[in-house]
Amino acid sequence: MKQHRLLSDLAALEQQLTQMVKGVSGFSVEQAHATWSPSVDIYETPTSFVLTAEVPGVSLAELDVKVVDDTLILRGERRWERDVHGENFHRLESAYGKFERTFKLSQRIDAEHITAELQRGLLKVVLPKRAEKGARQIEITTE
């Protein structure tokens, strides 16, 4: 019983700290009240960076991917669409509600050619790299 209470207290403390950090860091009110945040993986290929976000149960209509200045913004909502009411559940681990994730883009990203696709609950965002400018020899002239 004491262990269950300790775990419950730790979970509550973690939630409070998360809310405090979100409030201090300038996130929007909508983001501070998000009830879940999709897991994200980012990896690099020779030509791009690829971001994948786990968004099971989120429809295409509920997703928004945009670039504002040098920031990639993922927004969405997983809606509660079940006929069963909360009091009838024995266990409810899935999270529902709005989310927002933001990612600062490097100057190496070609923001004009970012693409996104949704397949089987996985949002894949491809962030192509800008073509690297090679070294250029500068000719020295004399008068």
CA distance 9 to 5: 6
The per-residue pLDDT for 28 is 37
Task: Express each pLDDT in 88-116 by its tens digit.
Answer: 667 777 788 899 999 999 888 999 999 99
- Residues 53-70 have a mean pLDDT of 93
- Residues 116-141 have a mean pLDDT of 88
Which band of pLDDT confidence, cut at 50, 70 and 90, is reported for residue 46? Answer: very high
**Where are the chain's structural domains?**
1-28, 34-128
The per-residue pLDDT for 123 is 96
Number of other CB atoms surrounding residue 6 within 10 Å: 10
The per-residue pLDDT for 141 is 85
Residue 23 near residue 31 (C-beta atoms within 8 A): no
Residue 89 near residue 115 (C-beta atoms within 8 A): no
For the beta sheet containing 63-68, the strands, ordered from the edge strand earlier in sequence to the opposite edge, are: 63-68, 71-78, 97-104
Q: Which CATH architecture has domain 34-128?
A: Sandwich (2.60)
- Residues 30-39 have a mean pLDDT of 63
Task: Express each pLDDT in 117-127 by its tens digit.
Answer: 999 999 999 99
DSSP letter at 131 equals: P
pLDDT at 21 over 60: no
DSSP letter at 103 equals: E
pLDDT at 87 over 70: no
